[in-house]
Amino acid sequence: MSFRRKLLLLFALTVAVSVAAVAWLVSAMTRRAFQLTNDQRTAALVTQFQRQFAQQGDEIARRVELIAGSEPISRMAAAVERSPGDLGGYFDMTRSLAEGYRLDFLEFVDSKGTIISSAQWPAKFGYPESAFANFSAWANQPAFLKHEELQDSAALGLFAVRTARVGEHPLYVIGGRRLDKSFLSALDLPADIRALLYQNRGDHFSPEWVIDPTANSTIVRLPEKLAPLIDAVRQENREMSVVVHWTGNKADDELFHAFPLRGADKDRAVLAILLVANSRRGWVELERRIRDSAMLVGGGGILLAVILGSWAAARVTRPVEQLAMAAQDVAGGNWNARVEVSGHDEVAQLADSFNRMTAELLTQKERLVQAERVAAWRELARRLAHELKNPLFPLQLTVENLLRARQSGPQQFEEIFNESSTTLLAEISNLKTIVSRFSEFSKMPQPQMESVQINDLVRGVAQLFQAQFEAPGRPAIQCKLELANGIEPIAADPQLLHRALSNLVLNAMDAMPQGGALTLRTLRRYDKVAIEIADTGSGLTREECERIFTPYYTSKQHGTGLGLAIVQSVVSDHGGTISVSSEPGRGTTFVIELLMGKEKLQTIAAKDSPAKVSASGGLG
Amino acid sequence: MRRFVWLWLAISSLVGAQCALSETRPQYGGTLHVSLHAAPGSLDPASATDSFELRNLTSLLFETMVETDDAGRLRPGLSSSWQSGSNQRRWQFRLRRGIKFHDGTLLTAEGAAAALRAANPAWRVLSEADQVIIELDAPNATFPAELALRRHAIVKRNSDGSLAGTGPFHISDWQPGKKLSLAAEESYWRGRPFVDAIEIELGKNTHDQQLAFELGRAQLIDVPAEQVHRDAMAGYHAISSQPIELLALVFTREAQSPEEKALREALALSIERSSIRNVLLQGTGQPTASILPNWMNGYGFVFPTDANLSAARHAREQVRATPAWTISYDAGDGLSRLIAERVTLNARDAELNLQPTSNSSADVRLARIPLTSDARSALVEVARAADLPMPKIASDSADDLYTAESAMLSSRRLIPLFHLPVNYACAATVKACQVSSSGAWNLQNVWLGPPKP
């Protein structure tokens, strides 16, 4: 993965993580805020309910007080005092009074606890009112919660008891109002909050006891889903909260707070459970909006990050890429590669340093080349002087002998002349040979590239020298071929390469006058082919290794110093490299590395016919 | 001066006597305004619904061949006389002559026979000259009493669906369930009624009726039993019949087992009739455990009416499982609802499971059954209303009636509760306003006078 892509990925990841973190943070804070708001609203609603509960109770107590003090009740109380057994005429008196005073429940009970008249259950006259053990204890008390048995059902109500007394026997007036849908509907509820009431009757939850003023809602709410909460509150007799999932849509969920409402009797039994439902629609929809916004912002941010990151990465990586390309150029031999320097940042400093470095390298290279060239010329001059001095010295002696021979006799002169002529011709021949060698070195031809199978070429060189390896009169040399399989053809000049390999083999043979082992090895190294020529000869010193490819340098007594120079020249003309490793006494290994050169092969294939390529592939 | 005083006294006496005479002498004319609680949808005597209001309304329009007086005795109606063959299966009724229907057509024997055939297709009704001959499948010594029943009134059914009778009034306007306007029949064979017309408002509740009565917009209203005492306290002129309406619990089916019969016995024993009478009925009506009222049969007291809760519980305990009964009542009848609820309470005291409902398909219904002044006909009507087997009554003797009544009650299909009178309140301007012991009014005989000074 490129540096630019890494930067892009880093930018996008940073933006995505940042947006996700912000969205989570906002969502968490929103949830927290909603919970706080819901708690506050619930607390306010409960307070309001309690206040209205108390107000309703005071109002009921006031109305019952008014009824107890009204004239008809006084007359009835007087009649009760006068003739307690003849009260049939009052049995339906409560109905009109209850309507007039807007009470749902109204009963007149005599001092013995017998119902004289009941608005909610008219037929119950003459029966004892069993809900109160001691009426006088309840009289003048604040309103209280009570279950009222009716003809075919039961109802929850707020009740108050007051006394109407004319004589010794009091008459009790019990009035109340039903805690029903109208009571709950009268609550001033905020939006998204509902108040329900469960009448705690029986041993188990029953949907029929749920008073829900919003039962006609479009959302289907099965009261049975409240059963676990109701049962838990009934068992533990304390406030509880739970989220109720009405439908598959989370927006329809409601957080229910359940508050037990207790009666005024001694055991303070739970008579009803107030259920305050907070809709989670607002929060769920806000959360969805936050999530959608986060996804939108995140997506947009990532896109923007990619765009800006691309731009920024391009700005950041362009000099680096230029540096990398320049470094590759330098590595490829282009010492003139330069990087454009823009700005004053670290990358610009790096580019400037690179430019200075390459400039310095180029300068040093030129100096080195100059030095090497001077050294080569010196070496050449030394070699020339050496090579020329050898024949010149005999020539000088021979000429001096001839001059001295003129002073001698003719016969002696004739003999000396003949000998000197022979010598002169021989030395002149030597000089010609020296001149022709140099001339030959200077006329090294340019390689003619063909598709060459290296293994075949190496195998051909080995066969060529096989007879000399086993020549009589000299110690045998064992030649080993270690050729790698699957080496593809390369573009090369088979004649020049054959000549170079032959020179290396000849050098190896010269290095093993006592015989030994010569190993010819081919290797595949990435996009290169390596040819190793290893002998077990006398080896070279480190200094010799360093100078061995210098023209006219030789470690041999009768060498010209041009063999390895020619080899290096051939390898260099093929775009390859040659190296030597040696250790005195253990032999020397020359390694030639040549590029596979697929492009060159394709060019050759395009130029030449397949037959020619095939023919030139084998040298043997 | 003394002569002048005597002269003044004499003139005053003459004027006072004249005034007194004019008050007691019937006067023709005027419109009688009536307000009733009932709201009948049909005035056809053959309709299944039976009530005293419907009986009284139809009695103003239609007449029967035979009538019963207050003592339950038969008297001639549209037929002047009747006789039967020796086997009491063939009965001959001689039709009065010159009686016309309200549409002016003459009542003939064939017309009467056609009306009777329509009223009871089981009869074979013939006509011969001025006689109507009815042949029965079985001997029936009391057959004329059946002809006195309202559903056997002589009705002429016209092709347009209208009905014509021979009664003292004919219909001038009829809005079913709301209003009935009657006009006096000038050529009524018993003589023209005193009032020219009767305007009857139907379907009025007690409050509206009392308001109309006190404002003078209604001169005659029916009074529910529980209101009689209060209306009397308020100074209303109330007229009441003998307790002639049976209020009873009627099971819709026969008891399926002795256990169920025991439960019904427990229910009958649990009911506190006295409390219901004292409180809900405000002292009106007679608690009863018999079908016929005591004034009619003379032995009603034999059937105990007091509640016996211990006996009820004992009877209840004989049965292992208690069924859940439902008791229905007329939703428009507040008294019935209260009584049904009270009966439910009493039943719960006996550990019986009874639930009131206004649904007609209940196990028990609280029924108001109008009786007739004729004991035998009354038993037949009760059996018909309660879907009981027809009683076999050999004669009008108390023994035979008791036997028949005991047989009807033994199945516990019927639990009598009260006999209630039929009550009306008449304004002071309505003269000769009476109601018979059988609950029938006599509006053809009332006349409108000036209010008392």
Band (A615; pLDDT cuts 50, 70, 90): very low
In a mutational test of the B interface, the residue from A95, A127, A149, A150 whose CB has the highest number of chain B CBs within 10 Å is: A127
Tokens at A559, concatenated: 């060498």
**CB contacts, 8 Å: B282 with chain A:** 88-89
Q: By CA distance, what is B281's nearest residue in A?
A: A88
- Other residues' Cβ atoms within 10 Å of the Cβ of residue A461: 25
Residue type, B97: R
Our CA-based measurement puts residue A121 at a distance from the nearest CA of chain B, in whole angstroms, of 9
Mean pLDDT of A250-270: 82
Contacts of A217 (CB under 8 A, 6+ apart): none
ipTM: 0.79
Q: Provide the pLDDT confidence category of residue B5 given band limits of 50, 70 and 90.
A: low
CA distance A314 to A293: 30
Is A48 or B253 the better-scoring residue by pLDDT?
B253
Cross-chain Cβ contact A88/B344 below 8 Å: no
CB contact under 8 A, A91 and B280: yes
> CA of B357, closest CA in chain A: separation in Å?
10
Residue B12 identity:
S
Across the interface, of A88, A123, A124, the residue whose CB is closest to B278 is A88
Mean pLDDT to the nearest integer, A261-272: 80
pLDDT at residue B281 is higher than 50: yes
Return phi, psi of residue B408, to 5°: -65, -35
With contact defined as beta carbons under 8 Å apart, do B248 and B340 qualify?
Answer: no
3-state secondary structure B246-302: EEEEEECCCCCCHHHHHHHHHHHHHCCHHHHHHHHCCCCCEECCCCCCHHHHCCHHH
Report the distance separating Cα B389 and Cα B404, nearest Å: 11
Chain A: give the shortest CA distance to residue B330, in Å.
16
pLDDT tens profile A339-351: 888 778 887 888 8
Distance from CA of B425 to the nearest CA of A (A): 20
A122·B341 Cβ contact <8 A: yes
Q: Which residue of B has its CA nearest to A122?
A: B338
- Indicate whether B21 pLDDT > 60: no
- Could you tell me which chain A residue has the CA closest to the CA of B274? A88
Distance CA A330, CA A337 (A): 6
H or E element, residue A13: helix A3-69
pLDDT greater than 90 at residue B179: yes
Decide if pLDDT at A591 tops 60: yes
Q: What is the dihedral of CA B98, B103, B104, B109, to 10 degrees?
A: -40
Among the partner-chain residues A122, A126, A152, the one whose CB lies closest to the CB of B275 is A126
For residue A397, count other CB atoms closer than 10 A to its CB: 13
B278 to chain A: closest CA residue = A88
CA distance A91 to chain B (A): 7
Residue identified by tokens 């001698």 is A408
Residue B413 CB burial class (10 angstroms; 0-12, 13-18, ≥19): buried
- CA–CA separation, B66 vs B74, rounded Å? 7
Q: For chain B, give percent helix, strand, coil, nearest 5.
A: 30, 25, 40
Q: Could you tell me where the beta strands, DSSP code E, fall in A200-320?
A: 210-211, 240-244, 254-262, 270-279
Q: How many Å lie between the alpha carbon of A265 and the closest alpha carbon of chain B?
A: 26
Tens of pLDDT along B52-90?
A: 889 999 999 999 999 988 888 899 999 999 999 878 889
Could you tell me the sign of the dihedral formed by the alpha carbons of A219, A222, A226, A230, in that order?
positive
Helix, strand or coil, per DSSP, at residue A214? coil
In the predicted model, what is the mean pLDDT of chain A?
Answer: 82
Q: Dihedrals φ, ψ of A385, to 5°?
A: -60, -45
* Residues in B touching A88 (Cβ below 8 Å): 278-279, 282-283
Mean pLDDT of chain B: 89
Tell me which of B263 and A51 has the higher pLDDT. B263
pLDDT of residue A380 exceeding 80: no
Q: What is the pTM of this model?
A: 0.63
**B398-410 and B375-385 helices, crossing angle to 10°:** 10
Strand partners, A581: A589
- Please, which pLDDT band fits residue A557 given cuts at 50, 70 and 90? low
What residue type is A155 in one-letter code? A
Nearest to B43 by CA among B234, B160, B168, B175: B175
**What is the mean pLDDT of the segment spanning B337-361?**
90
pLDDT of residue B3: 59
- Mean of pLDDT values over B357-378: 88
Looking at the complex, report in whole angstroms how far the Cα of residue B152 sits from the nearest Cα belonging to chain A: 40
Residue B74 bridge partners (DSSP): B68
Say whether pLDDT at A533 is over 70: yes
Q: Name the residue facing B338 among A123, A127, A152 (closest C-beta).
A: A123
**CB within 8 Å of A588: residues ≥ 6 apart:** A508, A511, A534, A535, A537, A539, A540, A580, A581, A582
Q: How confident is the model at residue A531 (pLDDT cuts 50, 70, 90)?
A: very high
Report which residue type is found at B256.
Answer: Q
Q: How far is CA A37 from CA A188, A242, A245, in A?
A: 17, 16, 20
Q: Could you count the other beta carbons within 10 Å of the beta carbon of residue A580?
A: 17
pLDDT in tens, A299-312: 887 788 778 878 87
Best of B278, B327, B335 to disrupt the A interface (most A CBs within 10 Å) is B278
Our CA angle for A318, A324, A327, nearest 5°, is 140
User: Chain B residue with minimal CA distance to A124?
Assistant: B342
Q: Which two tokens stand for residue B300?
A: 């009603």
* Whether the Cβ atoms of residue A595 and residue A490 lie closer than 8 Å to each other: yes
Question: With a CB-CB cutoff of 8 Å, which residues 213-252 of chain B face chain A?
Answer: 229
B412-426 per-position pLDDT tens digit: 999 999 999 999 999
Tens digits of residue pLDDT in B222-263 = 998 888 877 777 778 889 999 999 999 999 999 988 899 999
Residues on chain B touching A123 (C-beta within 8 angstroms):
280, 338-339, 341-342, 344-345
Nearest beta carbon to residue B282 from set A88, A123, A125: A88
Give the count of Cβ contacts less than 8 A between chain A and B: 30
Is some CB atom of chain B closer than 8 A to the CB atom of A123? yes
Q: What confidence score (pLDDT) does residue B13 get?
A: 60
* CB half-sphere exposure, A106, CA atoms < 13 A: 25
CB B41 within 8 A of CB B54: no
From residue A101, alpha-carbon distances to A106, A129, B421 in Å are 10, 22, 35
